[in-house]
Structure 1
Amino acid sequence: MDLSVKPLAIVTSQINTLARHAIALLPNLVAAIVFLLITWLIAYLIGRSLRSLLRRSKMRASLAEAMEKLSRIMVWTFGLLLAATVVFPGLTPTKLLAGLGIGSIAVGLAFKDIFENFLAGFLILLRKPMRIGDDIECEGLSGRVEAISIRDTFLRKRSGELVLMPNSYLFKNPVKILTDQPTRRIEIVVGVAYGEDVDAARDVIRGAVETIEKRDKNRGIDVFAREFNSSSIDFLVRWWTDSTPRDEHESRDLAVAAIKRALDEAGIEIPFPYRTLTFKDPLKIQSDEKE
């Protein structure tokens, strides 16, 4: 064993070297922290100014929010790159960009889900038909869009629960926007018995729907004899009302009640399903009475 080698001295020397380098980097670290604080202030001021400017314009709220987020991201990206060059003076912008090109592959694979949802969230905000506050349906989920974050869309269900939907899920699947237009068409099926007069039943149903208040009176009412069902002749009844789910339920409730009342008053039967049972052999009736 070579006694001239002193492990403790080597470790002490390495620690002293690291300490000297750390002390030498302290001014750069302080400058980088100050620079990041300035970046935060600039990003805040630019975002706030852009938000105030876009609110006075006719731009949609979702698009304005997307522009604000993009401006903040650009400021922070530029600020972080400059802060890195301040901490490491030998790190030129060319070397930094080259390193980012190589490292972006590993970072992209590690944070694929986050980047995918972030990009999807930004594209959702750019969508013209969809706005924050709209009622939507997507793959069995329905509710009002309350907010769109970097990763999730906050969907408030009509029963009160809050659902966090990944932006990529909402972007990739078909979305039905219920409140895209101020009014929406509702339809129900009404059946009358085969023995009733079809034309008279149609007039009674149309008159009943015309009496309800919760409908768009500027649009017509459709009553079509649709098909021969097992126990009834079915009519397809369509009318327009406000597009929110609450208005739809209220209008449907009023229409069903009015149609039922009008058909009863006109003496028109609303049939229920009839069932006829047949047996292969005659049934024997057994009497409990004693002869």
Structure 2
Amino acid sequence: MAEGTVMEDVFNLQEASSTLSSQLDAYITGAIEASPKIVLALFIIFVTWAVVAVARFILRRVCARMRLRRNLVDVLSMLTSTTIWLTGLLIALAVVFPSITPGKALTTLGLGSVAIGFAFKDTFENFLAGILILLREPFAIGDHVECEDVEGQIEEITIRDTRIRQTDGQLVVTPNHHLFQNPVTVRTDKDLRRTTIICGVAYGENVDEARKVIQDAVAHVDTVRDDVKDVEIYAQSFGASSIDFEVTWWTGSKPHDIRASRDQVIAAVKSALDEAGIEIPFPYRTLTFNEPLPIKNMSEEDSSAPKRKAS
């Protein structure tokens, strides 16, 4: 029984070795037969690499002449390179494996793309939003924007996110889909922006005279662009203790321009009203008591107070 078992093991080992040898011979024979196709596929890949390099060089030269933004040039370069590489790899795959047609390869790639898309939904969403932002250019680097609770100057726009520097120096990295799906206020889209303050004068003052004094004061401020847009002064409402004027003018669109111009206008209006003798009133309050208040004479209070003996 032992000799029979040993003979069976030897026979099985020989059979496995023969099968492995046959498979190796088949692989080697297949590799030799497919070597021309492999060489041709490698040549196609090399040609694809060369075409990608040339296409990127030409694209950058053309975009430089068109003065497109660097980030937009990078996006166009990436899309062009991806398209050429995908085409070249599909051709090389079809050469090595004739049974795999470009149609079948694209179908398989499409099914895989759906699975990858579900797994990386947010990443692809930001990627597509970044491409659309760079193509449409709703805002540019250096613009001051506001989107919901984020406000500041745009420093960089990438494929995935946009970097916004707030006025207090903090950097906010915002996903592109957030800027693409929500309303964005571009404060520096134009060189000029309108700003408004409220100025009140006392009820006893002449409204027309006060309006003229305020308008002359605002018009003489250096940061007020009255050469482009007129200064507008309107009596707005009857306040608690004053007649309120709405003072509107145009100045630079950057936040610093707005703050600096508002500071100068307030100082100029205050000085002009003081020189004209026009009162800027404090809030007035009228107190009403249900019963009369007793009034005491200070001399009576002093006389009723106990006197101290000198020691």
Residues 174/240 of structure 1: CA separation in 2 closer, same or farther (3 Å cut): same
Equivalent AA in structure 1 for residue 228 of structure 2: N
**Residue 199 of structure 1 pairs with residue 208 of structure 2:** yes
**Residue 187 of structure 1 pairs with residue 177 of structure 2:** no
Equivalent AA in structure 2 for residue 154 of structure 1: R
Percent identity at matched positions? 47
Task: Please name the residue that 2:108 is paired with.
Answer: 99
- Distance across 2 between alignment mates of 1:226 and 1:55: 53
- Distance across 2 between alignment mates of 1:285 and 1:195: 31
Please report how far the alpha carbon of residue 21 of structure 1 lies from its aligned counterpart in structure 2 after TM superposition.
Answer: 7.0
Please report how far the alpha carbon of residue 209 of structure 1 lies from its aligned counterpart in structure 2 after TM superposition.
Answer: 0.8
Residues 196/76 of structure 1: CA separation in 2 closer, same or farther (3 Å cut): farther
Equivalent AA in structure 2 for residue 53 of structure 1: V
**Residue 256 of structure 1 pairs with residue 241 of structure 2:** no
1:62, 1:126 within 8 Å by CA — same for their partners in 2? no
Equivalent in 228, 247, 257 of residue 247 of structure 1: 257
The alignment's TM-score, normalised by the length of structure 2, stands at: 0.74
- For 1:154, what is the secondary structure of its paired residue? strand
2:71, 2:158 within 8 Å by CA — same for their partners in 1? no
Please report how far the alpha carbon of residue 204 of structure 1 lies from its aligned counterpart in structure 2 after TM superposition.
Answer: 1.0
- For 1:214, what is the secondary structure of its paired residue? coil
Between stretches 220-229 and 86-95, larger displacement belongs to 86-95
Larger radius of gyration: 2
Structure 2, unpaired ranges of 5+: 307-311
Residues 164/36 of structure 1: CA separation in 2 closer, same or farther (3 Å cut): farther
Q: Matched residue pairs, number?
A: 283
Matches within 5 A, 1:66-215: 66-79=75-88, 81-82=90-91, 90-215=99-224
- For 1:213, what is the secondary structure of its paired residue? coil
Between stretches 193-202 and 54-63, larger displacement belongs to 54-63
Residues 99/203 of structure 1: CA separation in 2 closer, same or farther (3 Å cut): same
RMSD: 3.9
Residues 285/162 of structure 1: CA separation in 2 closer, same or farther (3 Å cut): same
Task: Please name the residue that 1:224 is paired with.
Answer: 234
- Distance across 2 between alignment mates of 1:160 and 1:183: 24
Please report how far the alpha carbon of residue 98 of structure 1 lies from its aligned counterpart in structure 2 after TM superposition.
Answer: 1.1
Residues 108/190 of structure 1: CA separation in 2 closer, same or farther (3 Å cut): same
Structure 1, unpaired ranges of 5+: none
- Distance across 1 between alignment mates of 2:95 and 2:287: 90
Residues 271/36 of structure 1: CA separation in 2 closer, same or farther (3 Å cut): farther
Task: Please name the residue that 1:273 is paired with.
Answer: 283
